[in-house]
Amino acid sequence: MTRLPRYAAMLALAGALPGDDDRWGYEVKFDGIRALGYVDNDLRLISRNDKDISAAWPELADIAPGSPRFVVDGEVVTFTADGRTSFEALQPRMHQRNPAMIRALRRSIPATYLIFDLLHIGDRSLIDLPYQQRRQLLEQLGLRGPHWQVPPRLHGTGADVLAESKRLGLEGVLCKRLDSPYLPGRRSPLWTKVKNMRDQEVIIVGWRPGTGRRARTIGSLLMAVHDDSGKLVYIGNVGTGFTQSALADLQSKLQPLQRNTPTVTAAVPDAIWTSPALVGEVTFTEWTSDGRLRHPSWRGLRPDKSPAEVKAPLSDGVPR
């Protein structure tokens, strides 16, 4: 039997709620790590940047074997005590590959695989089928176990489900056209993400030393994105949202990347510049008129994203 074919994840565009509810399905936008699951005799989890991350999440392995074998799309998450998913809580596990450390961490930070699409079953690819039919086939598989499940679709108008997601403190909703095929590796308006809070992927290009309690460690990180010409532009610094362990981890990763010259044009006193190799994510309130993020707060590193993917949004007054 041949191996299951490899797929790339379909991506959503940020946008507004659709006006024609009867043509759309709604799902919760979960806060975790996107991963395609290849379920045959065993499970292979492949990240958005095409890395095999199966070893990091051993509690998901018992979803295999698959009979028939299949390929699914989903999000690896961890739940907080109030039932919400937390990207921050996942951080200690995202980079960990030491089996002993993983065994210890999985007890305190258990993972769940939330599965929302079915791309392949047996010897048949399903990506040309409409989303509504793929979703029905997925639900018929009965994928529910101690660390995996198919979350329910949301019912009601887009405005109602978004308001409810905000009330519950969730990140937002995903709107999917019922007739949409699965478009591997493409970002399409057939899938639209609508968020209750704003976030931005950023490239770390340096840091400023801390003072007071943060003396001898990082005070703030210097952030950049690519503009639409491909140039790396400075968008400010972020100095809040860090735990002590996150700061120590960042310092260990940034130290080897240190360089004498900046990769962006920015007058930042006492900056320690680094090569633009690490990607992170922040929340913020708005873009300023000079292309800076207002009130950014650190969420964590994104090892599933490459620096080349990090771009400025298409609006918001970001320098062009």
Q: What is the pLDDT of residues 265-309, one digit of tens each?
A: 998 989 999 999 999 999 887 788 788 998 899 999 998 889 999
Looking at the structure, do residues 80 and 156 belong to the same domain, yes or no? yes
Looking at the structure, do residues 149 and 43 belong to the same domain, yes or no? yes
pLDDT for res 314: 57
pLDDT for res 210: 87
**Of 143 and 197, the one with more pLDDT:** 143
In the predicted structure, residue 320 carries a pLDDT above the cut 50: no
User: Has residue 168 been placed in a domain?
Assistant: yes
Last residue of a domain, one of 165, 195, 225: 195
Last residue of a domain, one of 140, 174, 195: 195
Average pLDDT over residues 178-191: 96
Looking at the structure, do residues 177 and 273 belong to the same domain, yes or no? no
pLDDT for res 318: 52
Annotated active-site positions, please? Answer: 29
pTM of the model as a whole: 0.74
Domain extent at residue 43:
11-195
pLDDT band, very low/low/confident/very high, at 315 (cuts 50, 70, 90): low
In the predicted structure, residue 132 carries a pLDDT above the cut 50: yes
User: Has residue 83 been placed in a domain?
Assistant: yes
Q: Among 90-94, 112-116, 165-169, 206-210, name the most confident range.
A: 112-116
Q: Which of 28-32, 89-93, 276-280 has the lowest mean pLDDT?
A: 89-93
pLDDT band, very low/low/confident/very high, at 1 (cuts 50, 70, 90): low
Which pair of structure tokens corresponds to residue 116? Answer: 């929302």
What percent of the chain is modeled with pLDDT above 90? 68
Last residue of a domain, one of 195, 221, 243: 195
In the predicted structure, residue 243 carries a pLDDT above the cut 70: yes
Looking at the structure, do residues 57 and 189 belong to the same domain, yes or no? yes
User: Has residue 317 been placed in a domain?
Assistant: no
Looking at the structure, do residues 276 and 157 belong to the same domain, yes or no? no
Looking at the structure, do residues 243 and 191 belong to the same domain, yes or no? no
On average, the pLDDT of the chain sits at 91
User: Has residue 252 been placed in a domain?
Assistant: yes
Looking at the structure, do residues 60 and 209 belong to the same domain, yes or no? no
pLDDT for res 275: 97
Looking at the structure, do residues 251 and 295 belong to the same domain, yes or no? yes
Looking at the structure, do residues 166 and 20 belong to the same domain, yes or no? yes
Looking at the structure, do residues 60 and 125 belong to the same domain, yes or no? yes
User: Has residue 4 been placed in a domain?
Assistant: no
Q: Which of 38-42, 89-93, 136-140, 183-187 has the lowest mean pLDDT?
A: 89-93
Query: For residue 44, what is the domain's CATH number?
Result: 3.30.470.30
Looking at the structure, do residues 110 and 55 belong to the same domain, yes or no? yes
pLDDT for res 317: 47
pLDDT band, very low/low/confident/very high, at 162 (cuts 50, 70, 90): very high
What percent of the chain is modeled with pLDDT above 70? 98
User: Has residue 289 been placed in a domain?
Assistant: yes
User: Has residue 316 been placed in a domain?
Assistant: no
pLDDT for res 259: 96
Looking at the structure, do residues 92 and 237 belong to the same domain, yes or no? no
| Domains of the chain: total | 2
pLDDT for res 263: 94
Query: For residue 250, what is the domain's CATH number?
Result: 2.40.50.140
pLDDT for res 290: 85
